[in-house]
Amino acid sequence: MNTFDRIWTALAVVLMILPFAALGYELVKSESSLTIAVFAAMGALLFGTLIMGMRVRPEAPHDQPETETESTTAHSPVETHHRSS
């Protein structure tokens, strides 16, 4: 991931946190401690999943790295035969 991508990723994470922080602030002022604990657990799971997802690199189950012989071998073009009328 290059620096430009990291900046946009950080901005997206910050913008994702803002609504949760605002709601959490309002919950602390008026709700019970159980409600706040449930909200905190949901937030921790959400952000934990986000962080874990950013570290995973997607890969198809049957993908194998391209070997050197496959990359250097040129595939022959498909020949088509046209019928003359």
> Which of 5-9, 55-59, 74-78 has the least mean pLDDT?
74-78
List helix spans (H) across 2-66.
3-30, 33-55
Q: What is the value of pTM for the model shown?
A: 0.54
At 6, the pLDDT band (50, 70, 90 cuts) reads confident
Three-point CA angle 59, 15, 8, nearest 5°: 50
Return the C-alpha torsion angle 18, 22, 23, 26, nearest 10: 170
- Half-sphere exposure in the Cβ direction for 45 (13 Å, CA): 6
- Residue 18 in any domain: the answer is yes
Query: What is the total count of domains within the chain?
Result: 1
Instruction: Decide if 9 contacts 1 (C-beta within 8 A).
Output: yes
**pLDDT bracket for residue 66 (50, 70, 90):** low
- 34 part of a folded domain: yes
Answer whether residue 32 is part of any domain.
yes
Is position 14 within any domain?
A: yes
- The pLDDT mean for the chain works out to 79
Residue 15 has pLDDT above 80, yes or no: yes
Can you give the residue range of the structural domain that contains 14?
A: 3-56
The answer as to whether 61 is a domain residue is no
**Structure letter (DSSP) for residue 73:** S
pLDDT of residue 70: 53
Q: Give the 3-state secondary structure of residue 85.
A: coil
Residue 9 lies in a domain: yes
Please give the average per-residue pLDDT across 4-20, as a whole number: 86
11 located within any domain: yes
Residue at 30 is within a domain: yes
